[in-house]
Amino acid sequence: MRELLTDETAVVTGGASGIGRAISLLFAEEGCDVVVADVQEEPREGDEPTHERIEAETDASAAFVECDVSRYDDHLDAMDVADEFGGVDVMVNNAGIFRAETFLDEDDEVFDRTMDVNVRGVYYGARAAANRMVEDGGDGGSIINLSSVAGLRGSADFVSYCTSKGAVRLMTYALAARLGPEGVRVNAVHPGLIETAMTTDDVPIFGTDAEDAYTQSIPSRRSGTPEDVADVALYLASDLSGYVNGESLSVDGGMANTQ
């Protein structure tokens, strides 16, 4: 059995549902204690809470902490819980929201909340984690930021979302420059079309007439799963990527570079 993250502790924002849940579960299978930091405990897609499943099915420890990533103090609470497991080694800034918008007659609500969660949330999460990773002679760590193919190219219906995810990509490069000398690696992941509550409920693609056309336009001819993204997050969290820093990795079946 592989145990790529033995004796490590991860904080995963948005870890209750979807991609963050898959990351949390995979990390725990690899020996990592996990703090699930989310605004809600129940998975959006149903089933038992992530931390309860980890405790029941793996040897790892897990806890839930209520955290709105747009509030810095909430991140500090998550770091305090991680300290109970030995201190944060891996920070996954995964929480995000996705809203369609018309742009021309839009009020500020979509833009403001999208930037608050998707950009401020990553900035605060990185800062809170990095402070713990470098203080008291800490031995560094890995920060993984969830961007999107929408952070690589423009899309007419999602101006705020693309803006936020592009910011996450550039923030990742800047953070890698700032934190690399401190022993902290910072990388971004750019998922393509992944089936979660985000793409079935918030901006429905799965279960609609458009699903097949989307899927067939992807070179791999399938949509992605949360587990596809979790595998890449595991690589970036572990020593397998020990010399990978300031990188942005697409997990999109070839979508971003071919359309």
Catalytic site positions: 161
Please state the closest distance from residue 253 (CB atom) to ligand NAD, in A: 12
> Under the criterion CB under 6 A, does residue 70 sit at the interface with ligand NAD?
yes
Question: Residue from 4, 63, 76, 97 that binds ligand NAD (CB under 6 A)?
Answer: 97
Contact call for residue 76 and ligand NAD (CB under 6 A): no
Tally of CB atoms within 10 A around 77: 16
Instruction: Catalogue the E-assigned strands of 115-220.
Output: 141-146, 184-191
Note whether 193 binds ligand NAD by CB under 6 A.
yes
- SS3 string, 224-248, reads ECHHHHHHHHHHHHCHHHCCCCCCE
Q: Which of 49, 87, 96, 253 binds ligand NAD (CB under 6 A)?
A: 96
Over its C-alpha atoms, the chain yields an Rg (Å, rounded) of 17
For the chain, count helices (H), then strands (E).
9, 7
Please identify which residue in the block is written with the tokens 């509550």.
Answer: 197
CB of 105 to ligand NAD, least distance (A): 24
Considering only 198, 218, 230, 232, the residue that binds ligand NAD (CB under 6 A) is 198
What is the spatial distance between Cα 25 and Cα 225, in angstroms, rounded to a whole number? 14
Q: Which of 32, 69, 110, 255 binds ligand NAD (CB under 6 A)?
A: 69
Q: Which of 49, 125, 191, 253 lies at the binding interface for ligand NAD (CB under 6 A)?
A: 191
Q: Least distance in Å: CB of 16 to ligand NAD?
A: 4
Give the CA distances from residue 117 to residues 54, 96, 170, in Å, rounded to whole numbers and listed in that order.
Answer: 26, 6, 16
Of the ranges 33-41, 77-85, 152-160, 179-187, which one interacts with ligand NAD (CB under 6 A)? 33-41
**Residues in contact with ligand NAD, total (CB under 6 A)?**
30
Distance separating alpha carbons of residues 115 and 120, to the nearest angstrom: 6
| Count of alpha carbons within 13 angstroms of residue 207, beta-carbon side | 10
Rounded to the nearest whole angstrom, what is the least distance from the CB of residue 222 to ligand NAD in the complex? Answer: 13
> Does 12 sit near ligand NAD (CB under 6 A)?
no
Asked if 213 contacts 112 with a C-beta cutoff of 8 angstroms, the reply is: no
For the beta carbon of residue 50, count every other beta carbon within 10 angstroms: 27
Q: Contact region for ligand NAD (CB under 6 A) — 3-11, 95-103, 173-181, 239-247?
A: 95-103
Query: Which one of 4-12, 38-46, 101-109, 208-216 is the stretch in contact with ligand NAD (CB under 6 A)?
Result: 38-46
* Contact call for residue 18 and ligand NAD (CB under 6 A): yes
Say how many CA atoms lie within 13 Å of 105 toward its Cβ. 0
Residues that bind ligand NAD (CB under 6 A): 13-14, 16-20, 38-40, 44, 67-70, 94-98, 117, 146, 148, 191, 193-194, 196-199
